[in-house]
């Protein structure tokens, strides 16, 4: 699952800082507008940015929870245009995937960071010619996975990289995260290397994972596998499982159910399991690098906050995380533990 906005308020954990906060009384370093800023990820991004001395304003359609009430379904409307006044960077943690949101911001010189795992949306953003910088492949998967695969290829050149993602089923996810996961069911995508159709949550591959042993993970359409295959010139393929073997098996069976895309599935899920996550990148010769931690929302927020402080220094255009950051940057983030081949 990728993170989005929950349908209930989510109190962020206390920020865990990679460096001390800016002393009180100093002018804010940046002015950040966080779309979906009261959600599972957005609230944590706001907390991180504020703790580092930035002015963070949350935006969304619930006036009781947002600093700035905004209807994100209408990027051309006055409320969104007004919310952009004086802003340095927008962080989209709302799960709303509309290129017009990006165009509206960048046309005013405002940088944009998007937390998305959707391949078609990233492709649509790449077709834009923004006049301010846009940074994508931000979060845990993509994001941490992207940097792991890029680092592994740099240190251990290989013909292919398999990326594995294990997510804790016990973490409470928001509507957007659940909707993205449901979108995998019964759908397929082109293999980034061959173009052959691949069914989501099919074509299992066995990974050897620290703390999990031998686990079978299944193909899933995380957007960074397409970007990395193109940029690195090797086949990169993403795989997904939940920490629960039983729930993973249930998903692989559900995706084969005829008409599963049309079923009314619950949008509020809090399944049994842990909130641990693990991501790994493995070469064709089984050399691996991995990262682990707890609470996917917090990890995503840490990477998004790092991206927000990076994007304003980039040239206009659409950028990907691995083009400007590395696992050395991840190593400075608390709660994200790196290990594996060097």
Between CA 282 and CA 148 the distance in angstroms is 9
Q: Percentage of the chain surpassing pLDDT 70?
A: 85
**CA neighbor of 130 nearest in space, from 114, 143, 112:** 112
Residue 109 lies in a domain: yes
Per residue in 88-120, pLDDT (tens digit) is: 999 999 999 999 999 999 999 999 999 999 999
Judge whether residue 62 has pLDDT over 50.
yes
The pLDDT of residue 330? 96
One domain for residues 168 and 245: yes
State phi, psi for 56 to the nearest 5 degrees: -115, 125
Q: Give the start-end residues of each E strand in 148-212.
A: 160-167, 188-190, 197-199, 205-209
Q: Is 186 left (phi over 0), alpha (psi -120 to 50) or beta?
A: left
pLDDT, average across residues 36-59: 95
One domain for residues 170 and 280: yes
One domain for residues 148 and 123: no
Answering whether pTM is above 0.85, one says: yes
Residue 22 lies in a domain: no
Burial class (CB in 10 A: 0-12, 13-18, 19+), 99: middle
Residue 255 lies in a domain: yes
329 in Cβ contact with 302 (< 8 Å): no
Residue 2 lies in a domain: no
Give me the count of residues in the chain.
342
The pLDDT of residue 7? 33
Residue 125 lies in a domain: yes
One domain for residues 133 and 204: no
Spell out the residues 6+ positions from residue 261 whose beta carbon is closer than 8 angstroms to its own: 185, 186, 187
One domain for residues 99 and 240: no
The pLDDT of residue 266? 58
88 in Cβ contact with 110 (< 8 Å): yes
pLDDT, average across residues 319-331: 97
Judge whether residue 316 has pLDDT over 60.
yes
- Quote the mean pLDDT of the chain: 88
Residue 120 lies in a domain: yes
One domain for residues 167 and 217: yes
Residue 86 lies in a domain: yes
Per residue in 238-252, pLDDT (tens digit) is: 999 999 999 899 889
**CA neighbor of 304 nearest in space, from 68, 35, 105, 55:** 35
The pLDDT of residue 264? 66
Domain count, the chain: 2
CA atoms within 13 A on the CB side of 340: 27
The pLDDT of residue 257? 85
One domain for residues 218 and 145: yes
| pLDDT band, residue 17 (cuts 50/70/90) | very low
List the domain range (segments joined by +) for residue 58. Answer: 31-138+299-324
Buried b (16+ CB within 10 A) or exposed e, 26-45: eeeebbbbbbbbbbbbbbbb
One domain for residues 251 and 270: yes
CATH number at residue 207: 3.30.360
The pLDDT of residue 268? 59
153 in Cβ contact with 130 (< 8 Å): no
One domain for residues 317 and 236: no
The pLDDT of residue 258? 82
Bond into 142 cis (ω within 30): yes
190 in Cβ contact with 144 (< 8 Å): no
One domain for residues 89 and 200: no
Per residue in 143-167, pLDDT (tens digit) is: 999 999 999 999 999 999 999 999 9
Residue 68 lies in a domain: yes
CATH number at residue 60: 3.40.50.720
296 in Cβ contact with 167 (< 8 Å): yes
One domain for residues 227 and 114: no
**CA neighbor of 203 nearest in space, from 185, 223, 217, 189:** 217
One domain for residues 176 and 282: yes
The pLDDT of residue 98? 96
CA–CA distances in Å: residue 320 to residues 47, 49, 105, 197: 24, 21, 18, 25
Judge whether residue 28 has pLDDT over 90.
no
Give the pair of three-digit tokens for residue 173: 């996810």
């Amino acid at each position: 699952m990728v993170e989005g906005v929950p349908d209930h308020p989510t109190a962020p954990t206390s920020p865990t800082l990679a460096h001390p906060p800016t002393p009180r009384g100093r002018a804010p370093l940046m002015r950040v507008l966080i779309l979906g800023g009261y959600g599972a990820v957005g609230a944590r991004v706001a907390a991180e940015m504020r703790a580092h001395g930035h002015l963070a304003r949350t935006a969304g359609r619930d006036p009781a929870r947002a600093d700035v009430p905004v209807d994100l379904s209408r990027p051309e409307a006055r409320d969104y245009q007004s919310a952009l006044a004086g802003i340095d960077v927008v962080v989209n943690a709302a799960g709303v995937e509309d290129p017009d949101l990006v165009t509206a911001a960048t046309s005013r010189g405002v940088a944009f960071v998007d937390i998305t795992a959707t391949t078609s949306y990233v492709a649509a953003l790449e077709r834009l010619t923004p006049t301010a910088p846009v940074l994508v492949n931000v979060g845990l998967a993509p994001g941490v996975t992207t940097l792991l695969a890029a680092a592994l290829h740099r240190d251990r050149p290989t013909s292919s990289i398999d990326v594995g993602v294990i997510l804790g089923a016990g973490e409470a996810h928001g509507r957007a995260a659940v909707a993205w996961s449901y979108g995998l069911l019964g759908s397929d995508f082109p293999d980034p290397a061959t173009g052959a159709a691949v069914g989501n949550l099919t074509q299992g591959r066995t990974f050897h994972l620290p703390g999990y042993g031998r686990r079978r993970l299944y193909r899933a359409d995380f957007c960074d596998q397409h970007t990395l295959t193109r940029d690195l010139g090797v086949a990169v393929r993403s795989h997904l499982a939940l920490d629960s073997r039983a729930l993973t098996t249930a998903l692989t069976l559900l995706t084969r159910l005829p008409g599963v895309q049309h079923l009314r599935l619950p949008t509020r899920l809090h399944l049994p399991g842990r909130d641990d996550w693990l991501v790994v990148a493995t070469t064709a010769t089984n050399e691996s690098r991995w990262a682990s931690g707890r609470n996917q929302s917090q990890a995503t927020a840490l990477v998004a906050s790092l991206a927000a402080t990076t994007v304003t220094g980039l040239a206009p255009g659409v950028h990907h995380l691995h083009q400007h950051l590395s696992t050395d940057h991840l190593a400075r983030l608390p709660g994200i533990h790196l290990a594996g081949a060097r």
